[in-house]
Amino acid sequence: MFRGANAINLDNKGRLTIPTRYRQSLMDDCQGQLVCTVDNRQACLLLYPLPEWEEIELKLSKFSTMNPDERRIQRLLIGYATEVDMDKSGRVLVAPTLRQYAGLEKEIMLVGQRNRFEIWQEDTWNAQVAEDLSVEKAGQYEQTERLQDFSL
């Protein structure tokens, strides 16, 4: 399980280094084989261990290619999906097209989201967090049943 926000840097080749605390789990669960794709709702990337991605891909395979909305999601998520291998040093190469999509430069955020990571340009992440906090503070979100039952 991945959790926490980690400030890291892309090197000059476009590689990010997975924080040490996640590496052994990734080696045990997927031998360091990952899939990186776009988030179709926000300007960030999604990084999945291969077995987790295969579950997503199975769900996507059930979408209709005749439904324009379902086809659009398939096109984006599968079209951008790139297999990457974590090297001995824990580095993962992020493809140029993916870096461009998310506006990734040097300073990025790797954010654990249970079964995947989100990869954000640091200033975009900070703006998103500020927006999320302002919506939360103002109570301007849809009160679904799950949210009504949630407490810390």
- Tell me whether residue 145 is in a domain: no
pLDDT value of residue 79? 96
- Tell me whether residue 69 is in a domain: yes
- Tell me whether residue 130 is in a domain: no
pTM (whole model) above 0.75: yes
pLDDT value of residue 151? 67
CATH code at position 37: 3.40.1550.20
pLDDT value of residue 99? 98
Domain count for the chain: 1
Beginning with the edge strand found earlier in the chain, give each strand of the sheet holding 33-38 in spatial order.
Answer: 2-9, 107-114, 117-121, 45-49, 33-38, 82-85
Domain that holds residue 24: 2-122
Q: Which residues of the chain have pLDDT under 70?
A: 151-152
- Tell me whether residue 140 is in a domain: no
- Tell me whether residue 151 is in a domain: no
